[in-house]
Every structure is written in C-alpha cells, then in structure tokens.
C-alpha cells in the first residue's frame, strides 16, 4: 500500500482554500498526468490520467467518490480503479495559520491488487508519495494565483 502526505503553507485565507478544493473542476486538472474528468454528481466523478510507474506508463481511469465535505476545512474521497485493480482514499485539509496563510495538507493512500504492483512495491510506494506531493503543491500554487 502506498501512502503519501504533504503539507504546504498557502498564502490565502482558509475560505479561499475551501472555495478551491470544494470545486473538483478546479483541482482535477492539477493531478499529474491529467487527461480528462467527468462530473457525474456532487459526490461522483470519473478521472483519466497517465502515471509513470517505474519504466511503465499506465493509462488510469478512476472513479472518485466524495465521502465527506466539511466546510470550511476538509474534503475526503475514495478512489476505485475502473481499468486497473486498485482502491484508495485521500483528503485535503485546511487549517488557518492566520487570516492570510492556510496550512493545507494533501493525503493519498492507494492499494493495488495488481501482480505488477506487488512486484514493484517500492516503486509503487514512491509513485504515490510523489503524486501526493506534486498534487498538493500544484493545488496550493493554483490557489495563490487565483486569490492574489
């Protein structure tokens, strides 16, 4: 099982951070390797992206289910692979440091049942850590651009 967690300080109010992470259309395109996504409802969407996994490149199609919206600080979600065998969960959390700085945490845990993932477990674990870091940083930077 790969787990990543990353924190960034965002130069924006917690309400600005919440406005951004509350909108899947705002941050879905920031997933590394993003290709497209479709919103099915307030809680369901499907996303397509490409990941680099060791020397392999995989097209991933995933169903994302929002399991909790806790305004103004947290969104939690689960992931289910549509074309690959994996499940996962994650969240974005926002804690006000002061009125113009928010500490945002991104977390992602993915468990693959694929024989290839078990063979390349350390590479898989590193990929999840890197994906979490890159996404959290990209979301923080996008929020700062939007709120400045």
Averaged confidence pLDDT in the chain? 92
- CA-closest candidate to residue 53, choices 84, 79, 76: 84
- Are 95 and 10 in contact, with CB atoms under 8 Å apart? no
Q: What is the pLDDT of residue 113?
A: 80
Q: What is the pLDDT of residue 18?
A: 95
Q: What is the pLDDT of residue 72?
A: 93
Instruction: Identify whether 97 is preceded by a cis peptide bond (ω within 30 of 0).
Output: no
pTM of the model: 0.91
pLDDT digits (tens, 9 = 90+) for 56-99: 788 989 999 999 999 999 999 999 999 988 899 999 999 999 99
* pLDDT band per the 50, 70, 90 thresholds, residue 118: low
- CA-closest candidate to residue 102, choices 19, 16, 13: 13
Residue 52 has pLDDT above 90, yes or no: no
- Are 11 and 98 in contact, with CB atoms under 8 Å apart? no
DSSP symbol at 120? T
What is the SS3 assignment for 43-92? CEEEEEEEEEECCEEEEEEEEEEEEEEECCCEEEEEEEECCCCEEEEEEE
How far, in Å, CA of 34 to CA of 49, rounded? 4
- Are 119 and 113 in contact, with CB atoms under 8 Å apart? no
pLDDT digits (tens, 9 = 90+) for 25-45: 999 999 999 999 999 999 999
Beta bridge partners of 102: 10, 96
Q: What is the pLDDT of residue 119?
A: 66
Residue 117 has pLDDT above 70, yes or no: no
Q: What is the pLDDT of residue 148?
A: 80
Q: What is the pLDDT of residue 122?
A: 75
For the chain, give the percent of residues with pLDDT over 70.
Answer: 95
């Amino acid at each position: 099982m790969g787990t990543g967690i990353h924190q960034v300080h965002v130069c924006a109010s917690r309400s600005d951070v919440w406005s951004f992470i509350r909108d899947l259309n705002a941050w879905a395109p920031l997933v590394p390797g993003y290709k497209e996504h479709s919103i099915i409802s307030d809680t369901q969407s499907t996303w397509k992206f490409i990941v680099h996994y060791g020397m392999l490149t995989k097209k991933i199609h995933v169903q994302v289910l929002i399991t909790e919206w806790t305004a103004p600080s947290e969104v939690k979600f689960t992931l289910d692979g549509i074309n690959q065998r994996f499940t996962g969960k994650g969240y974005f959390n926002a804690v006000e440091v002061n009125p113009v700085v928010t500490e945002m945490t991104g977390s992602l845990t993915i468990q693959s049942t694929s024989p290839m993932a078990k063979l390349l477990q350390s590479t898989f674990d590193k990929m999840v850590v890197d994906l979490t870091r890159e996404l959290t940083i990209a979301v923080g930077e996008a929020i700062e651009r939007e709120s400045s």
